[in-house]
Amino acid sequence: MKIIAIDPGASGGIAWQCQDGYIFAAAMPATEGDVLAQLTSLQAANGFPNRVIIEDVGGFCGVGQPGSAMFKFGRGFGFILGVCAALGWRVELVKPQKWQKTLGLGTKALAGGKGPWKNKLKALAQQLFPTCDVTLKTADALLMLEYGNHQNQRSGL
């Protein structure tokens, strides 16, 4: 089962699992051209993915951030969806709460805030994927990949 998981945004990442089970992860490429090159090269090297999971995020950009930041994020999110559509990939949008609940992660509030929460996610990704170079940028994508594998097991794939 070839799966691609994408955590959109400049601080996000892309994780993919090849047919042989090998796992890769990379920080989100810096430009739209780089995103296009990354996703098309994934398909060229690994064939058509069976599942593409993208985090379904809202429009909140954070306290004190200008609306232009939200617009830029939305543009990048839409670009990723457009590339996936152009490649003929069926995309599954998954809310963060859903994949986090499936993996039994608890909540950001229970973890003690954003910093401890992100470190918890990174630590779990490191535990689950010891052969990957897990960073704060790739941790969520890797955990969404784990969510996809979890869903495949539940459905018998």
Q: Which residues pair with 53 in a beta bridge?
A: 5, 92
pLDDT in tens, 73-99: 888 999 999 999 999 999 999 999 999
- Residue 131's CATH number: 3.30.420.10
Q: Which of 33, 142, 154, 148 has the alpha carbon at shortest distance from 92?
A: 148
- What range does the domain containing 18 cover? 3-155
* Pairwise pLDDT comparison (157 vs 13), residue with the higher score: 13
Domain count within the chain: 1
pLDDT of 1 > 60? The answer is no
